[in-house]
Structure 1
Amino acid sequence: MAFQIGDKVVYPNHGIGVVEDIQSDRLDSNEEHTFYKLRILANSTVVKVPIANVEGVGVRRVISNKDVARIFDLLENRKIETHSNWKGRYKDNSDKMRSGSIYDVAGVLKDLSFLSKKKSLSFREKRMLDRARFLIVSEVAEVAAEPQDLVEQKIDIALSRGMETKKKGRTSLKTLLKRTTMAAMAENGRSEGVARKPRARASTRVKQGKGQKDPISISINRYC
């Protein structure tokens, strides 16, 4: 897999990076090797990856929009694959985090998120859950060109849909997003009410004209 300077790639367990340079250097064996010089966007860390070992390390290109849709489908899936034994579970999840596959990372995010609702996670698993969430959010936000807080909101909704039972039925993503937006607007209104006196209610209600859409629906439809 060949990259060019300026390409955005993903380095396993670190996230998105940019190919800054392609360099040649001699190792202890005195053989000359060519490296990709990557700068990780999250923390500006510089990583050198031998071109001959790119696939072995797991460096890959950033995902596509089709992959984003598949990730949300995976998060909504109720199927959980995890060890009951803590050590076995941690080893499996660690291997997935290092694999370079975003689907493996999404699986870790889903499994540990569901498990955290049933029992307390260890410190190491909590840290792994946070890492998996960061990797998914940052890459999806980059591909979808959306703010990270909106992507986090969508991920939380997808996970909550996966936890719903068949008898109860699953609420649509659009409905859940609308509810969350309305709750945020209500909370914002309460905060403003503390800072200033409430306005007197108008005696008449403004009618919604023909063809005029609900502003909340507009803000939700924009992201669905």
Structure 2
Amino acid sequence: MTKSKKLEFRPNDYVVYPAHGVGQIISIEEQEVAGHKLELFVISFEKDKMTLRVPTHKATESGLRSLSSPDVIGQAMKTLKGKAKVKRAMWSRRAQEYEQKINSGDLISIAEVVRDLHRTDDQREQSYSERQLYEAALERLTREVAAVSGNDELAAAKQVDEVLTSRVAA
């Protein structure tokens, strides 16, 4: 009976778009596309200097969601403390799985990637692609932690780093 559920977002709300991470809705506008009027969320990803327009009726399908609750942030931090789970599969297969987790928009999955790819100074070098995936996941996690806590990204990065280094010390 109901087609796609319309999300209740307003301008200035922070949202998470799976493929790009945390953005801010700057407006809701109407555009005519191929003779049809479309209502669009205009989302700004300031760090990436990018603006995305998502049809409001397709927002749920696209995976657009509100910021995680502090509880979910807590679970993500707990995930970071866990022991890295590295499968014995070939790197190309693992890299694909990591990429999917990062783009799922699910904060716990992103935290798993950060945990699994985190290296301390005395561990073996990371390959270029490993480092790229790690940094992408870390940035997504950090931005959402910052947005939820209301801190800047530097403070959030420090918080995430402390959790990762405390895990190593344990």
Shorter-chain TM range is 0.7 to 0.9
Q: Residue 125 of structure 1 aligns to which amino acid in structure 2?
A: E
After the TM superposition, which residues 1-224 of structure 1 pair with which residues of structure 2 at under 5 Å, given as runs?
1-28=7-34, 30-114=35-119, 118-163=123-168, 170=170
Structure 1 CA distance for aligned equivalents of residues 70 and 125 of structure 2: 34
Secondary structure at the counterpart of residue 27 of structure 2: strand
Q: What TM-score do the two structures reach when normalised by structure 2?
A: 0.82
Contact persistence 2:83–2:115 (CA under 8 A)? no
**Structure-2 change in CA distance of 1:4 and 1:82 (3 Å):** farther
Aligned-partner SS, 2:58: helix
- Confirm or deny: 8 A CA contact 2:13 2:25 kept in the other structure: yes
Q: Which runs of 5+ in 1 are unaligned?
A: 165-169, 171-224
More strand by share: 2
> 2: CA distance between counterparts of 1:53 and 1:81?
35
Question: Residues of 2 paired with 1:44 and 1:37: CA distance?
Answer: 13
Structure 1 or 2, whichever has the larger Rg, is: 1
Cα distance, 1:128–1:8 mapped onto 2, change above 3 Å: same
- The answer to which structure, 1 or 2, has the higher relative contact order (CA under 8 A, 6+ apart) is 2
| Mapped partners of 1:18, 1:57: distance in 2 | 16
Instruction: Provide, for residues 78-105 of structure 1, a one-character-per-residue CA deviation record: whole Å limited to 9, x for no partner.
Output: 1515453111111111111111111111
Counterparts in 2 of 1:160 and 1:115: CA distance versus 1, 3 Å: closer
The one-letter code of the counterpart of 2:144 is E
**How far apart, CA to CA, are the structure 1 residues paired with 2:72 and 2:50?**
26
* 1:117 Cα deviation from its structure 2 partner: 6.5
TM-score (ref. length: structure 1): 0.64
Question: CA–CA distance in 1 between the matches of 2:119 and 2:87?
Answer: 10
Instruction: Give the length in aligned residue pairs.
Output: 164
Counterpart amino acid of residue 98 in structure 2:
N
- 18-27 vs 86-95, which moves further: 18-27
Deviation of 1:39 after TM superposition, in Å, equals 0.9
